[in-house]
Amino acid sequence: MKEYSRKAALNASKWNAAFNRERHEERRYSFDLQTFSLHMPISHGVKLPQSATKLGSYPVAVLPGQYTDYCKIYSSSELKGMPLQTVLSGPFTAEELAAEAQEESDDDTSVVASVGTCPEFKEEPETTLPIDPLSAEKQPRCKVCNGGRGRNKDGKPEPLIICGTCRTPSHPTCIDLTLAMITKIESYSWQCMDCKTCAQCNDPDDEERMIFCDMCDRGYHIYCVGLRRVPNGRWHCKECAVCFTCGSRNPAGNEHIKNAEWQHEFKKDKDNKQLRYACTLCVPCDKYWKRRQFCSVCMKVYRSIPEDGMVRCMGCPKYVHKDGCSILQDNERFCNYCYKSRNSTALTHSRIIAAAKKKMATGSPMWKS
Ligand SMILES: [Zn+2]
Ligand SMILES: [Zn+2]
Ligand SMILES: [Zn+2]
Ligand SMILES: [Zn+2]
Ligand SMILES: [Zn+2]
Ligand SMILES: [Zn+2]
Ligand SMILES: [Zn+2]
């Protein structure tokens, strides 16, 4: 593996060097697919010397002259933390970076050579490490696995959530929460298991009879929410219990149903392997779900095809909302997913470029400086 890493780094460095040379010497014009405009260096006004310009921090200025004439030269230890390296070996922890910096001073072979080739640039001395050893200790670390944001227990990047009471960080998956819960958790002062109090009575005791919301992880005593026993399966607190389709905060929707309960629906994932939580519906809306009447893009249920403006996708072919969930292309209607996969190929690029050429030929104004 180490040998492959070295080879890949070497290859990348060669490519970078060639790319840097080319963008300075040959590719002076460029076409931006995002803004659909042609960029070229113009010599209106004075070109500022490097000392008078602010250095961009993007590792490679994307287009020559477009964003900056001078870009920051990264030291080899800084480059270690950049995407090529993370792909090869997983993200570096702050300690590793600091330790690397020490070794790097003698062993300056790999990637730095690539960016150092631009003739106008002089190599900066290695003074500006992204993470210095002092602040490395202050980096938040998960209280379960001791990893930072860059590395959870499986070695993958994962955000940390911080307890609003004791300020201890943890990875959601290290404490049996899902990544889907992060938005809800960050929307209030979340408490870790050690600090958890009942959101109704504020009492931290009687943990045995406390239940936790499967959306936001708030804790409640069962008797504080009018339950007799710990419910089986999912449970949503009153902050999070809302019908995914009609928005009702009552499990009976707008009907009079006695003892109505929230209906949690699950759906097989893409590989048809695992059932995953899909949404929560009120009893009236859930009737339609049970008949499989739901839009395959936004997952909201529909009462009938004409009433809710449903159309059939030419690709999958499933029913989706005409507005918002499907797109008309060449007089055929595709759901957002099918549209995306049809258009994410090189086909799009060739189309855009063809259109650009046409525009250029007709002389439409698309020149920008
Ligand atoms: Zn962790
Ligand atoms: Zn805490
Ligand atoms: Zn309580
Ligand atoms: Zn909740
Ligand atoms: Zn509903
Ligand atoms: Zn939809
Ligand atoms: Zn489709």
What pLDDT digit, counting tens, does each position of 101-123 carry?
555 444 443 333 333 334 444 44
Q: What is the pLDDT of residues 126-154, one digit of tens each?
A: 444 444 444 555 688 999 999 888 888 88
Q: Residue 329's closest CA among 339, 337, 341?
A: 339
DSSP bridge pairs for 32: 37
At 213 the pLDDT is 96
188 pLDDT more than 50: yes
CA of 299 to the centre of ligand 6 (A): 6
More confident residue, 310 or 72: 310
Cis peptide leading into residue 91 (ω within 30°): no
Q: Which ligand is nearest to the CA of 203?
A: 3
Q: Which two tokens stand for residue 180?
A: 């889907």
Per the prediction, the chain carries an average pLDDT of: 78
**Residue scoring higher pLDDT (107 or 340):** 340
Q: Give me the pLDDT at residue 91, please.
A: 59
Q: Name the percent of the chain lying above pLDDT 70.
A: 64
Task: Give 21's pLDDT tier (boundaries 50, 70, 90).
Answer: confident
Read off the tokens for 21: 């040379």
Give the pLDDT score at 33: 75
Q: For residue 98, what pLDDT band results from cuts at 50, 70 and 90?
A: low
What is the 3-state composition of the chain as percent helix, strand, coil, each rounded to the nearest 5?
Answer: 30, 15, 55
Q: How far is the CA of 248 from the centre of ligand 5 (A)?
A: 5
Q: What's the CA-to-centroid distance between 313 and ligand 1, angstroms?
A: 42
Burial of residue 151 (number of CB atoms within 10 Å: 0-12, 13-18, 19+) = buried
pLDDT at 25: 73
What residues have a C-beta under 5 A from ligand 3, the ion?
198, 200-201, 221, 224
Sign, Cα dihedral of 290, 295, 300, 301:
negative
Residue 272 pLDDT exceeds 80: no
